[in-house]
Homo-oligomer: A and B are copies of this chain.
Amino acid sequence: MNEAPHARPRGPPEFGARFRTELRDLFIWRRDVRHFQSTPIPEELLSRLLEVACLAPSVGLSEPWRFVIVEDAGRRAAIRACFEACNKDALRAQSEDRASLYARLKLAGLDDAPCHIAAFADDGTQQGHRLGRHTMPETIAYSTVAAIHSLWLAARAEGIGLGWVSILDPARVAAILDVPAAWKLVGYLCLGYPAEEGDSPLLERLGWEQRRHSAGVVIRR
């Protein structure tokens, strides 16, 4: 694992049944993690994960993903305050019984996770010459989502958990992190070694919602 992620094998790899079984396990055991151990992620490993994220597909090869590793204690506290404010609003939008369950959900993992990464999409990038963005400009943000998802899967394969926090005000987060105006927040990510493992979603285990089968989501035309 010392080669850079861009190191190239000689020919197309042939993925076998064993790899596909493990890949399926990776999808099954990925999880949105909220409870972390305090052990930090080694810098070399974090760099490697971010390099894998940059192999994601992007519209017109625009590679618009921008990652901000949030280390400053003051900025982290401001992000936490932003979450608290938004969470309060979200709580009001829930019915009373659900609000009580909601309040018990530890949604953020912001306090425990040793590593925080804010993932942005650079809406102003000229890379890719705006190919494919004419009718669907949102594909710039979608490219960053694919990068986050790549990071998530690669992290899980290294035993690292990731939690995606979306209960935040994107403009406020951008201001706290002092990023260029064209950068649009896509997700705020908490990373670390998970405090527990599971093959079912935390929200399912907590009784918030259940997974459904795929049959109902596929139609033919």
Contacts and interface: CB of A to CB of B under 8 A. Distances in A.
A211 to B, nearest CB: 7
Contacts of A42: none
Interface in A130-156: 130-136, 138-139, 141-142, 145-146, 149-150, 152-154, 156
Contacts of A27: 5, 52, 55-56, 150, 154
B217 A63 contact: yes
A197 to B, nearest CB: 4
Interface residue range, chain A:
35 or more
A17 B152 CA distance: 17
A158 interface: yes
* Total copies of the chain: 2
A26 B150 CA distance: 11
Contacts of A218: 50, 66-69
Contact of A63 (B32, B146, B211): B211
A156 B82 CA distance: 40
A49 to B, nearest CB: 10
A209 interface: yes
B25 A167 contact: no
Interface string A17-53: 1011111111111101000000000000000001111
Given A12-B29, A57-B152, A153-B23, A169 B51 contact: no
Interface of A: 1, 5-6, 8-9, 12-13, 15, 17, 19-30, 32, 50-57, 59-63, 65-72, 75, 86, 89-90, 93-94, 98, 102, 107, 127-136, 138-139, 141-142, 145-146, 149-150, 152-154, 156-159, 164, 166-170, 177-179, 185-187, 197, 199, 201, 203-204, 208-214, 217-221
